[in-house]
Structure 1
Amino acid sequence: MKVLISEDDRSIQKTIASHLDSMGLEVIVTSDGREALKVLQENVPDIVITDIVMPYTSGLELIGLIKSNISRTIPIMVLSAIDEEDTVMIAFKLGADDFITKPFELPELTVRVNRLLQMAKAKA
């Protein structure tokens, strides 16, 4: 199964990518929403993990564009240091399926990614 990570923090990118790779997943990493959209037009993943605050296209914009232009069924996880209730609610209204606040623990990420992968399989 394939996971797209859109995260501008290189250390978080590496941590998540390495962990998901160790789970046997194919990982595609982008640094901003604009780059993620380019990847999505050529290579639709099974799930998307995105930060909110990124250059060019924010994670919230990315969620809206994915759900309206690419696929309504791709499960999306938001990973963000912003945990304000309004931001979380906007993410869910736009179509996010999960929201994890940074910092996070890898075991929690594993459980949540597995749940989203099950959702992706069920929608396929």
Structure 2
Amino acid sequence: MRLLVIEDNHSLVANLFDYFEARGHTLDAAPDGVTGLHLARNEAYDAIVLDWMLPRMDGPEVLRRLREEHDSSVPVIMLTARDDLPDKIAGFRAGADDYLTKPFALPELEVRLEALMARAHGRQRRRVLEVHDLRFDLSTLDVTRSGQPLHLYPACRKLLEALMQASPAAVTRQQLEYALWGEDPPDGDMLRSHIYELRRSVDGPFAVKLIQTLPRVGYRLAIAQDEVNR
């Protein structure tokens, strides 16, 4: 994902770069609205993170010009300390696709950007997920492997859905924690306990293991390469 960050808070920009570049994304930054608008209309970005209060041209004006004068449909999430309803309405009317108030958690911004990207590409949420011989019907919540029913706790079903939706891509620990607990994860490593329970149900009775641990990153649900080559 290639992102443009239009933000004059240098510390926040540095945090965004550290977080998203560590996850393989590419970022450009603009410290004011005029520079941001120039980059947005001359470069190709998957999404834009846009601050409201900016030097030289504020965020809503950047967005208005981008939408009306340059006919851009790039997804834009607006960042602001303004949390009153009239301000939110003004942001959406200017053309924002989403609105996030400061301070915010970086994993939440990541999840919101992923959702914007999915909508922009017209992807419909799959109702039946299948990876190898594992099948998860999201309508009925039935999970089977090789036709055998698996009985999962609600937390394990949430984790499995996140892993299967992303498969074969990795899902970070932060993304999985957000899927389970939103912005208020519990103390301690509860995620590890839930992953253990999920593994015991999904992989325990079967020869081919699907849930992979990626050190310092997160987890992935896919057939390991050595299994493919057998």
Relative to the length of structure 1, the TM-score reads 0.91
Is 1:6–2:6 an aligned residue pair? yes
Q: In structure 2, do the counterparts of structure 1 residues 69 and 29 end up closer, same or farther at CA, with 3 Å as the change threshold?
A: same
* Residues 17-47 of structure 1 deviation map (CA, whole Å, 9 limit, x = unaligned): 2212122211010111101112123213111
Q: What residue number does 2:65 align with?
A: 65
* Matched position secondary structure for 2:5: strand
* Matched position secondary structure for 1:112: helix
* Matched position secondary structure for 1:122: coil
Q: What residue number does 1:86 align with?
A: 86
Deviates more, 1:13-22 or 1:52-61: 13-22
Q: How many residues align?
A: 123
* Matched position secondary structure for 2:66: helix
Cα deviation, residue 60, structure 1: 0.6
Structure possessing the higher relative contact order (Cα contacts under 8 Å, 6 or more residues apart): 1
Cα deviation, residue 69, structure 1: 2.2
| Residues 75, 119 of structure 1: 8 Å contact kept | no
Return structure 1 stretches of 4+ with deviation > 3 angstroms: none
- Structure 2 gap segments, 5+ residues each: 124-230
Greater helix share, structure number: 1
Deviates more, 1:6-15 or 1:113-122: 113-122
Q: Which amino acid aligns with 1:114?
A: E
Deviates more, 1:2-11 or 1:34-43: 34-43
Q: What residue number does 1:25 align with?
A: 25
Q: Which amino acid aligns with 2:69?
A: N
Relative to the length of structure 2, the TM-score reads 0.51
Please say which structure displays the higher CA radius of gyration: 2
Deviates more, 1:49-58 or 1:38-47: 38-47
| 1:105-116 equivalence runs, <5 A | 105-116=105-116
Deviates more, 1:46-55 or 1:20-29: 20-29
Deviates more, 1:66-75 or 1:97-106: 66-75
- Structure 1 gap segments, 5+ residues each: none
Q: What residue number does 2:74 align with?
A: 74
Q: In structure 2, do the counterparts of structure 1 residues 18 and 119 end up closer, same or farther at CA, with 3 Å as the change threshold?
A: farther
Deviates more, 1:40-49 or 1:93-102: 40-49
Cα deviation, residue 71, structure 1: 3.5
| Residues 6, 32 of structure 2: 8 Å contact kept | yes
Cα deviation, residue 55, structure 1: 0.6
* Residues 52-78 of structure 1 deviation map (CA, whole Å, 9 limit, x = unaligned): 001111001011011112344211100
Q: In structure 2, do the counterparts of structure 1 residues 70 and 22 end up closer, same or farther at CA, with 3 Å as the change threshold?
A: farther
Q: Distance in 2 between matches of 1:4 and 1:69?
A: 19
| Residues 67, 73 of structure 1: 8 Å contact kept | yes
Q: Distance in 2 between matches of 1:107 and 1:96?
A: 20
